[in-house]
Chains A and B, each alone.
Chain A
Amino acid sequence: MKPPGHRLCDAFLIARSVVDQVAGRQVPPPWEMPLSAVLEHTKRVLPELQIDLQRRDFAADQVASALFRYPQRALILYAGSLNICWRRFALCKELAHLLIDDKGGRHFSTDGEAIISELITQIPHLEPESEMSSEMVTVLIAMEILLPWRQRRALLETSRLHSDAHLALRCRVPEKFIHHLLHTDYLPFSQSLNERLDGEAQSSFDGMRDGNAVLYGRALLGES
């Protein structure tokens, strides 16, 4: 089960709260926000958690940091190869993760494969009403354009005989999007949504046949 997304306004409220706590009434706040104060604030908000920061002797390429949360401990590992700016940013990001996730665990997930898959494809959790950035939405649009719904069945059948790499060459689409399309929950999600849209398109077509074609065309063009 995928956890729900966060509202952007909630994320902003949390950031403002942290800055208020850390920088007090200073206007403007200090140029270098003290990470130690952010850490202390997080510990005050989550007194039940022992927060353990560990710099690891590790050359980062794909992963800057990782957070593993337990009921009474949060282990944050970060790559020793990062410069101080990246180390601070990575740690602040993980602390923000602790702050934004409610204690009830509604947003928690230990589905490592799903978490990684979402990160590397930059495709968000599939919730029809979830908030997401235009950057993420445009990834979905490109995927739906280059791997159209109408060819989905054929692609699935072909995938039983050929590798994702073969399909990628065939479709000229990056392999990771072939993988995401065929092997994750995106598949039933997109099917459900496409079928709903198919149904709505059919209704609109029926409306056009009833003599509403001009009105429908104007609506499509955004005209009143």
Chain B
Amino acid sequence: MNAIQPIKAPQGPETRKFLAWIEGERAKGLQDISFFPLNTAHSTVETFSGEVNRLLEAPTLPDPDLFR
């Protein structure tokens, strides 16, 4: 029997945006990615990518308690 190949899922706008960001960062040497997921019971690749995009775009906050 010939190997069954996965059918490429259509990518939503958030997924495309995140993959495009990765592509740009690869050109700058990006080697590895890791996430710490929270509530993913109802997640899809699209909703998760959307959150990652918002995390990437959010302004930086001070964290004075981190090393107290």
Question: Which A residues lie at the B interface, using CB under 8 A?
Answer: 34-36, 53-58, 60-72, 77, 79-80, 84, 87-88, 90-91, 93-94, 97, 101, 105, 107-110, 112-113, 115-117, 119-120, 122, 152, 156, 159-160, 164, 175-176, 179, 182-188, 191-192, 195
Complex CA distance for A120 and B44, rounded to whole angstroms:
7
- Which B residues have a C-beta under 8 Å from some C-beta of A? 1, 3-9, 11, 15, 18-19, 22, 25-26, 28-40, 43-45, 47-49, 51-52, 54-56, 58-63, 65-67
Choice from B6, B18, B29, B31 contacting A184 with Cβ under 8 Å: B6
- Is the beta-carbon distance between B30 and A64 smaller than 8 angstroms? no
For residue B54, which residues in chain A have a CB less than 8 angstroms away from its CB? 58
Closest to A64 in B: B36
Q: Given the interface contacts A68-B33, A109-B32, A159-B7, does A58 sit within 8 Å of B47 by beta carbon?
A: no
Residues from chain A with a CB closer than 8 A to the CB of B15 are 113
- Given A60-B51, A71-B29, A109-B33, 17 other A-B residues pairs in contact with their CB atoms under 8 A: A55-B60, A57-B58, A66-B36, A68-B30, A68-B33, A88-B66, A108-B31, A108-B32, A110-B31, A110-B32, A119-B35, A176-B44, A179-B44, A182-B7, A187-B4, A187-B6, A188-B5
> Which 10 interchain pairs have the tightest Cβ spacing?
A56-B58, A108-B32, A69-B32, A58-B58, A67-B34, A183-B9, A55-B63, A120-B43, A36-B67, A64-B36
